Amino acid sequence: MADKNTFSRKDFLKITAAAGAALAVSNLPKPVLAAPVKTKPKHRYAMVIDLARCIGCEACTVSCKVEHNVPVASPKEIANRIQWTEVYFKEKGKYPDVKIDLNPRPCMHCENPPCVPVCPVKATYNDKDRGLVLQHHESCKGYGYCIAACPYGARYFNWSEPDYGGRLREQALNPDPHPQVKKRHKGIVEKCTFCVERLDRLEARAEKEGRPISDKELHLVCACVNTCMGRARHFGDLNDPDSTVSKLARSARAFRMQEELGTEPKVIYLRETANKA
Amino acid sequence: MKKLTRKEFLTLAGVTAGAASGVLKLASKAQAAVKENELQQVKSETIFSTCQMCGGQSGIMCRVVDGKLVKIDPNPYNPNNFSNISTDFFANVEKEGTCICPKGNAGIATLYDKDRLQKPLRRTNPKKGRGVDPGWKEISWKEAYAEIVKRLKALRDNGEAHKLLSFSEDSSFMDLQDDFYKLYGTPNFYFHSNLCDVSRKASFKMVIGHDRPLIGAVYTKYILFFGWNPLSATKWSHLPRIITRGIENGAKMVVVDPYFSYTANKAQEWIPIRPGTDGAMALAMAHVIIKNGLQDKVFIEEWTVGFDKFAEYVMDKSPAWAEEITSVPAETIERIAIEFATTKPQVVDVWSGPGHHSNGVQGGRAIALLAALVGGYDRHGTLIIPDKKGGKHIDVTPDDAAKASLKNERFDGKSSYPFAHSSGVYTEVFTRLAEGKGPYKPKIAMVIFQNPMMAVSGTKTVEKGFQNLEFVVVNDIFLSETALMADIVIPGTTYLERYDISSHWVTWPVVALRQPVVKPLFGQPTEYEFITEIARRLGLKEGDGKDIFWTGRMSGKRAEDKTKWYEEYISKELKEGAPKMTLEEMKKLPGAVWVDKKGTRYEKYKSELPAEKVADAIIEGDKIFSKKSDGTKDKLIGIMKGKKAVQGFSTPSGKVEFYNADFAKKKDAWGKPVDPLPVYEPRDWQPDASYPLYLINWKEASHTHTRTQNNSYLMELKPDNPLMVNVDTAKKLGIGKGDSVWVESIHGKVMAKVKLTEGIHPEVVGLQHGFGHWALGSRAKGSGFSDSILRPTRSEPLSGQAMNKQCCVKVYKA
C-alpha cells in the first residue's frame, strides 16, 4: 500500500481509470455520476425528479403512505404528520410575478449519510451495495439524533401509536411481512426506503432467473414513481450509464439539494426551464 | 466459497459481459432461494376497475388480499390515465406508464371509513332542519323497502308519479335510473351537471354544435386557459401529463385567472383578471386579431357563418375597452392576442371559473369563438371534437299510466332556459320547493349520491325545499348534511363495491369497466340493486308488459339475483354498444378496458358522408337532412361542399357559428331575448362600496367538492380551507396572517381563517370549495368553512348553470 506521501503508478492508474470512466459517461465530470472514490458499490440506486413536470398534486405522498402502512395524522396532530415523500411548497415573488416552488422530497439515500454515524444503537445503516439508507425498526430507540442530523427533513418520528383511521381501515393494511412495511410503533423513526421491499423481490426474482434487472423493471419499483401524474419521477441505477436516471443526471438542468454539505444525495432534480415571459 | 461449475461460470460471465446494464451480486443458488422465501410477497388478486373519487373515472388496478383491498395503483392499460390523443397513447404508454391522482390513491380510506353508514335509518323527529336532531332509529331493510315502496306506490296510484323528484350524480348507473323514473312516470330525473359545467357546454354548443371539445395539448404550441385549473382541479388524470408535455415540447402556456392556481404556476404567464369579465378580454382579443388580419381566413370562409356580423360587433371592443372592465392591461391583451393568433397550432379553453356568473355562457361563447377565428377546431394541437362511444342504452317504453304522468311539465323549469342541459336546473327546483312555486307541488325526493345541502348555493333555500317535501329518501355512504334532512337514509356503496360502464373523455372511443373490487362491506345493496328492488316491488313494467326489472337482458330468462340481473343489463349495453362484447369478455380484456384501434380522427367536419345516407336524405340548399319514418325532414346530418356531402358541424347551419339570428327568438330565464352575438354584459352582481371584494372559490387536487373531507389521507394533505387574501389587500384591511375574519355578503356572513398570498388579484378573495361540513363524518365536521350561504340559489339564465362563483363581500377582522 502506497504511503500517503508518495504517489505510486498504481494510485495514478486507479484515479485516471475512475476519471476516465466518469468522462466516458459524461460531457463534464459531474460529481453526481462519480461515486465517492472510497466506495465501490454494486448498485447506486437513485431517483430523478423533473420539477418542470411536477404539478404538486401529492399523489406520490399518498401512494407511498398506503403502500407502506404509514400512519395517518389526526387533525390535531397534522404538524407531526409522516410523509416519507413530502412535497415542499414555497411561494415566491410579488404580485403578479408569482411562483410556487414545488419540491417533492423523498429520502435522499445519501452516499455520505449524516444520519448513519450519529445513531447510538446503529439502528440506521448504509446498505452500501445498493446505495440505500435503511432502518432496523426493531433496534430503534427513538433517540432522534438521525432526525436532527438529516439536513433534508426526511425522517419522521412516531409520536403516538400508529393510527390508520379506525379498525375497518386497519384490517385492510398492506399485509406484506417485509420488515420495512410491517406496522411500526410509537417511539421510533421511519422514512422513505426507495421501496426496498419491492426492490428486494425484484432482485430475488432476477437472481433466481439468472439475469440482470432491466432499467424498465427498476422503473416500476417505487410507488411514488408509478403514480405520478406529471410522470416527473424516475428510478434506476446510476451504475448503468444507459439507465434513464444516468441519462437525466447528465442534463444541464440537473442539480441536487444542498450539495455543499457533502452528503452526496442520490435524488437528482431537474430544474424548471426558465421560460417565464 | 462454493466452487463454480462451468455452467455457473459461463452464466456469470454472460451476465458480467453485460455489466453496462447493471449486474446483480454474485450469489449462490442456495442464497437466492432463501432470500426469495424471506421476501415472499403475500398472494394477491388483481382487479381492474375505474375510480370515482371524482367524476373523472381514471383506470385503477386494485390489489386484493383475502377479499380486502390493500392498494390502488394506476391501470397501465387505460388511456384515460395517460393521454387523450391515440397516437400519443399507443406510442408512449408502455415506456412511460400511467398515473393516479392523490384522491384515487386515497380511495381505500373512503371504502374503509369508520363513519360509513351501515344500516338503514328512519327519522323519528318530524322536524327537519340544520341543527335539528333527526332522532335516528335503525330499521331493517325489510322495513325500509316497505315504507319507500308504500309511499311511491301511493303516489303513482294517485296519478301523481310526476311529483317524485330525483337527484343523482352523472357518471353512475344513469341508464338504469333513467329507465326507472321513466317507467315510474316522472319527468323529474335530475343530475348534478348543472352545478358543474353546463355553461361551458352551452357556450361550445352554440358555436360548434358539440358541447364538450377536448384540448389536444400534447402536440400544441400555444395554450390559453381562461379560468381553468386542470393541473389541480384535475378530473381527468391525463391532463397534467399532456399539458406539461406540451410545454416541454415548446408550447407557451398563458393562464387567465383571478387566482394564481397550480396551472398558472406552470404557465409562462399568469394574467390576473376580475372574475366574470373573461368574455370582454376574449372579444378584445378578437378585435386585435381581426384588425391585424391574423384570423384563419380560409377556415372562416369555408366552415363558418356570421363572421361579418361578429367582426362588426368587435370593431369597438378595443383592448382599452377591455382593460377598463377586466383590469388586464391593454398592451397585454394586444400582445397575447397576436401571440395566440400567430402561434400554430393553438388551443384555447374555458371551464367553470368564468362559467359560474350571470354572463358565463356568452362569455364562454366569445372564448369558443377565439378558437373559431384561428381555425382551432378538430385539428392537430387544437380543440378536438371527441369520437365518444360507450354502452348502448336500450330504450324502454312506459305504460299508459306512466305516459300520462310523463306528460307533466318538468318541475325544474328547464324550458325557461334556452340552452339548458338535460340534467336540469337544481337552483330552480329548490327555489320553487322553498317558495311553493312551480306547476305543481312535488311530494317525494330520492337523492342518490348527492349532497345538495352542501353543494347548492343558498343553503337556507335548499333546507326549506327539503322541509317542504313530504318524504325524502337519501342514499349515501355517509350521514351527509342532506341525509340529515331525510325521512329514510339508505347506506350506499362506494365505486369499489359496484359495477358501471365508464365511457371515457378522450378523443377516440375508449370504454372501461367498473367492477366490484370487494363485496359491499355491510351487505348493503348497490344503488342499482336498491332501485331494481323498488321497481320490482312496484311492479314497474314496460308498456307492452315486458317485465324488464326481472328479465335478464341477455338470457331473456327471469333473473332473481339482482346482481346477476344487473350484470346482464350492462352486458347487453356493452354488446350493443361500441365494445361489441359481453361483460365476461370485457373482464378478460387487458385492464378491463376496450380501446378502439382506430384512433383519434381529425377534421371530421370534412369527412364525406356515406353514399347511402345521402341517397336517403332530404337536401335543402346546402343542408342535408335525414328522414323521419314518415318521410319528413329530421336531423341535419351534413352539408354540401361543392359536389361533396360532408359531415360539417352539428349546428343549425352545419358550420361554426359566429352569429345566429334565431337565438333572438329565444328568451332566457329572465325574459330577455338571447343575443345572436356573444355580447359582453357585466355580470349582474358587482362590487360596491359596502361589499367591495369579489369572492370566488375553486377546486384543488386534494379534495372533490364536498365529498372527500372525511377521507383520512386527503384531510392530512389539506385539513382546511383558509380564505386566500392578497398581501396588499390584507394590509389595507388591517388583517394579518392567520387572523379570523368575517366574510360577509348581503345574504349572510361566515367566519374564516386568513392566509396571505401574492397570488390573487387584489380585488378578489377566495377559497377551496367543499369544506364547512356540519355532518358527513368525524373528520369533516367543523373543518374549514363554506361560502354557500353568501350566495342566493340562482342560475345563469341561458343554461341553468348554478352561479357558484358570483359573489361580492366585505372582509373584516372577527
Of B39, B105, B717, the CB nearest to A204: B39
pLDDT at B2: 47
Which three cell numbers mark A205? 426474482
Please identify among residues 261-280 of chain B the ones whose CB lies closer than 8 Å to any CB of chain A: 262, 264-266, 268-272
Mean pLDDT across the stretch B287-305?
A: 98
Q: Which residues in B lie closer than 8 A to residue A212 (C-beta atoms)?
A: 15, 18, 21-24
- Whole-model pTM? 0.92
Which three cell numbers mark A219? 422503473
Under DSSP, the state recorded for B801 is -
For chain A, list the strands marked E by DSSP: 45-50, 86-94, 97-105, 124-127, 132-135, 156-157, 189-190, 233-237, 254-255, 267-270
Alpha-carbon torsion (B797, B799, B802, B805), positive or negative: negative
Mean pLDDT across the stretch B528-537?
A: 98
Separation between Cα atoms, residue B189 and residue B747, nearest integer Å: 30
Q: Which helix (H) or strand (E) holds B196?
A: helix B193-196
Separation between Cα atoms, residue B811 and residue B742, nearest integer Å: 6
Cβ–Cβ gap B35/A200 under 8 Å: yes
Report the residue of chain A nearest B14, measured CA to CA: A211
What phi-psi label fits residue B647: left (phi over 0), alpha (psi between -120 and 50 degrees) or beta? alpha
Instruction: Find out whether B427 and B462 touch, Cβ atoms under 8 Å.
Output: no
Give the pLDDT band of residue B185 (cuts 50, 70, 90): very high
Check CB contact of B625 with chain A, cutoff 8 Å.
no
Up-side HSE of residue B13: CA atoms within 13 Å toward CB?
7
Nearest to B499 by CA among B547, B550, B549, B564: B564
Instruction: Find out whether A58 and A87 touch, Cβ atoms under 8 Å.
Output: yes
Which site among B4, B26, B39, B248 would you substitute to test the A interface, given the most A Cβ atoms closer than 10 Å to its Cβ?
B39
Per the DSSP assignment, residues forming a β-bridge with B72 are B62
Question: pLDDT tens across B741-786, in order?
Answer: 999 999 999 999 999 999 999 999 999 999 999 999 999 999 999 9
Separation between Cα atoms, residue A35 and residue A13, nearest integer Å: 17
Nearest to B544 by CA among B670, B658, B396: B396
Under DSSP, the state recorded for B404 is H
Average pLDDT, chain B: 94
Of B262, B265, B713, the CB nearest to A62: B713
Give the SS3 label for residue B665.
Answer: helix
pLDDT at B209: 97
Question: pLDDT tens across B417-471, in order?
Answer: 999 999 999 999 999 999 999 999 999 999 999 999 999 999 999 999 999 999 9
pLDDT at B24: 34
Separation between Cα atoms, residue B353 and residue B119, nearest integer Å: 39
Which residues does A151 contact at the CB level (< 8 Å), separation at least 6?
A: A114, A258, A261, A263
Give the pLDDT band of residue B551 (cuts 50, 70, 90): very high
pLDDT at A34: 58
pLDDT at B42: 82
Q: How far is A9 from chain B (nearest CA, A)?
A: 26
Q: Which residues in A lie closer than 8 A to residue B247 (C-beta atoms)?
A: 52, 275
Question: pLDDT tens across B243-273, in order?
Answer: 999 999 999 999 999 999 999 999 999 999 9
Mean pLDDT across the stretch B15-22?
A: 34
pLDDT tops 80 at residue B170? yes
Write the DSSP string, A67-109. HTT-----GGGGGG---SSEEEEEEEEETTEEEEEEEEE----
Check CB contact of B339 with chain A, cutoff 8 Å.
no
pLDDT tops 70 at residue A113? yes
pLDDT at A36: 60
pLDDT at A275: 54
Give the pLDDT band of residue A38 (cuts 50, 70, 90): low
Cβ–Cβ gap A229/B23 under 8 Å: no
Please identify among residues 283-302 of chain B the ones whose CB lies closer than 8 Å to any CB of chain A: none
Question: pLDDT tens across B790-806, in order?
Answer: 999 999 999 999 999 99
Report the residue of chain A nearest B30, measured CA to CA: A208
| Contacts A–B by Cβ distance under 8 A | 228
pLDDT tops 90 at residue B5? no
Which three cell numbers mark B497? 363495491
Cβ–Cβ gap B42/A176 under 8 Å: yes
Per the DSSP assignment, residues forming a β-bridge with B752 are B741
Q: In what order do the strands lie in the sheet with B500-503?
A: B500-503, B510-514, B593-595
Instruction: Find out whether B814 and B740 touch, Cβ atoms under 8 Å.
Output: yes
pLDDT tops 70 at residue A9? no
Cβ–Cβ gap A228/B99 under 8 Å: yes
Cβ–Cβ gap B74/A226 under 8 Å: yes
The share of chain B scoring above pLDDT 90, in percent, equals 93
pLDDT tops 50 at residue A75? yes
How far is Cα of residue B341 from the mean position of the Cα atoms in its chain? 30
CB atoms within 10 A of CB B464: 19
Give the SS3 label for residue B479.
Answer: strand
Report the residue of chain A nearest B244, measured CA to CA: A53
Separation between Cα atoms, residue B333 and residue B337, nearest integer Å: 6
Cβ–Cβ gap A66/B268 under 8 Å: no
Cβ–Cβ gap A75/B719 under 8 Å: yes
Name the one residue in this structure whose C-alpha cell is 432534480. Answer: A269
Report the residue of chain A nearest B710, measured CA to CA: A165
Give the pLDDT band of residue B636 (cuts 50, 70, 90): very high
Separation between Cα atoms, residue B358 and residue B248, nearest integer Å: 37
Q: Which residues in A lie closer than 8 A to residue B70 (C-beta atoms)?
A: 66, 172-175
Per the DSSP assignment, residues forming a β-bridge with B247 are none
pLDDT at A31: 46
Give the pLDDT band of residue A274 (cuts 50, 70, 90): low
pLDDT tops 90 at residue B718? yes
Which site among A54, A66, A219 would you substitute to test the B interface, given the most B Cβ atoms closer than 10 Å to its Cβ?
A66
Q: How far is A222 from chain B (nearest CA, A)?
A: 12
Which site among A80, A167, A229, A246 would you substitute to test the B interface, given the most B Cβ atoms closer than 10 Å to its Cβ?
A229
Mean pLDDT across the stretch A164-184?
A: 95
Alpha-carbon torsion (A203, A209, A211, A214), positive or negative: negative
Of A94, A169, A226, the CB nearest to B97: A226
Per the DSSP assignment, residues forming a β-bridge with B757 are B726
> Is it true that the peptide bond before B345 is cis, omega within 30 degrees of 0?
yes
Q: How far is A166 from chain B (nearest CA, A)?
A: 6
Residue A10's φ and ψ, nearest 5 degrees, are: -65, -45
Q: Residue B365 to residues B159, B278, B350, B354, B654: CA-CA distances in angstroms?
A: 42, 10, 9, 11, 17
Question: pLDDT tens across B581-592, in order?
Answer: 999 999 999 999
The share of chain B scoring above pLDDT 70, in percent, equals 95
Report the residue of chain B nearest A171, measured CA to CA: B68
Separation between Cα atoms, residue B657 and residue B369, nearest integer Å: 8
> ipTM value of the model?
0.93
Give the pLDDT band of residue A39 (cuts 50, 70, 90): low
Cβ–Cβ gap A214/B21 under 8 Å: yes
What phi-psi label fits residue B738: left (phi over 0), alpha (psi between -120 and 50 degrees) or beta? left
| Helical packing angle, B527-538 and B562-576, nearest 10° | 100
Q: How far is A223 from chain B (nearest CA, A)?
A: 8
Please identify among residues 753-772 of chain B the ones whose CB lies closer than 8 Å to any CB of chain A: 757-760, 762
Of B100, B111, B231, the CB nearest to A227: B100
Of B70, B715, B758, the CB nearest to A91: B758
Q: Which residues in A lie closer than 8 A to residue B95 (C-beta atoms)?
A: 216
Check CB contact of B137 with chain A, cutoff 8 Å.
no
Which three cell numbers mark B135? 332522532
Write the DSSP string, B54-73. STT--EEEEEEETTEEEEEE
Separation between Cα atoms, residue B570 and residue B394, nearest integer Å: 10
pLDDT at B583: 98
Residue B331's φ and ψ, nearest 5 degrees, are: -60, -35
Separation between Cα atoms, residue B250 and residue B375, nearest integer Å: 20
The 3-class SS string of B375-428 reads CCECCCCCEECCCCCCCCCCCCCCCHHHHHHHCCCCCCCHHHCCCCCCCCCHHH
Give the SS3 label for residue B208.
Answer: helix
Mean pLDDT across the stretch B270-280?
A: 98
Average pLDDT, chain A: 88
Note the maximum CA span of chain A.
68
Mean pLDDT across the stretch B364-378?
A: 98
Cβ–Cβ gap B15/A226 under 8 Å: no
Report the residue of chain A nearest B29, measured CA to CA: A208
Name the one residue in this structure whose C-alpha cell is 384490517. Answer: A171
Which amino acid is located at B115 in the chain?
Answer: D
Cβ–Cβ gap A62/B15 under 8 Å: no
Check CB contact of B793 with chain A, cutoff 8 Å.
no
Cβ–Cβ gap A100/B726 under 8 Å: no
Check CB contact of B703 with chain A, cutoff 8 Å.
no
Which residues does B474 contact at the CB level (< 8 Å), separation at least 6?
A: B447, B448, B480, B482, B483, B485, B486, B488, B489, B490
pLDDT tops 50 at residue B31? no
Cβ–Cβ gap B42/A175 under 8 Å: yes
Per the DSSP assignment, residues forming a β-bridge with B656 are B304
